[in-house]
A and B are shown apart, each in its own frame.
Chain A
Amino acid sequence: DAKTTQPPSMDCAEGRAANLPCNHSTISGNEYVYWYRQIHSQGPQYIIHGLKNNETNEMASLIITEDRKSSTLILPHATLRDTAVYYCIVRAYTSGTYKYIFGTGTRLKVLA
């Protein structure tokens, strides 16, 4: 199973872009990268996912390197409510189903 590596913590000024890196150097060709965030030990919340192309939605952008060994989640204008633990996840396909392999996440603190 592919594993992900993230910095344990990051700070970002409110209103600035938050760029959260993730390393997934052992990812397989058909494995997707997902990003979730978790606020105050609530259930993780879906943000975005991608395979090899860059993706954007109303919450964030996902930039995946051409070799797919790393990716960056971008929150374009961070707010205090974006303070959370952000998980970069590889979705692995085995035994006919998909499962999420979580790393330890990055604790993002948005500063006023």
Chain B
Amino acid sequence: DAGVTQSPTHLIKTRGQQVTLRCSPKSGHDTVSWYQQALGQGPQFIFQYYEEEERQRGNFPDRFSGHQFPNYSSELNVNALLLGDSALYLCASSDGTGYLSEQYFGPGTRLTVT
């Protein structure tokens, strides 16, 4: 049973560009959450998708957007990249909106903005 997968593993972009990160949830999970983890910091909640809708959002600007597909996979898009967007981006999946189950995290995508 595959766990949460993310692609790509690493990515280098230039300031001002746009980036798309992808996540496939653990089998049987229908809820996907995205986190940003700066170096030396704990993960910060970006947003959560359930039933193809954004259900909750953290304190991130509108440059950060997402999408969830009918197969429950998800994308995170970041526009107008800033140097400060360099971070490890983590995807986590759970069953339903997470009441009874823990979140399972993927290995992350390391984004470097130059």
Contact = CB atoms under 8 A, between A and B. Distances in A.
A41 B39 CA distance: 9
A43 B105 CA distance: 5
A94 B106 CA distance: 24
Nearest to A103: B42
Given A44-B43, A104-B42, A105-B42, A97 B98 contact: yes
> What bracket does the count of chain A residues touching chain B fall in?
20 to 34
B45 A104 contact: no
Contacts of B31: 97
**Residue of B37, B41, B105, B106 ringed by the most chain A CB atoms within 10 A:** B105
Contact of A102 (B43, B50, B56): B43
Contact of B42 (A34, A87, A95, A96): A87
Contacts of B33: 99-100
A13 to B, nearest CB: 26
A104 B50 CA distance: 27
B55 interface: yes
A70 B102 CA distance: 20
B74 interface: no
B97 interface: yes
A46 B108 contact: no
**Residue of B43, B48, B88, B99 ringed by the most chain A CB atoms within 10 A:** B43
Sorted nearest first, the 10 A-B pairs with minimum C-beta distance are A43-B105, A102-B42, A98-B98, A97-B97, A46-B102, A97-B55, A44-B105, A95-B56, A102-B43, A97-B56
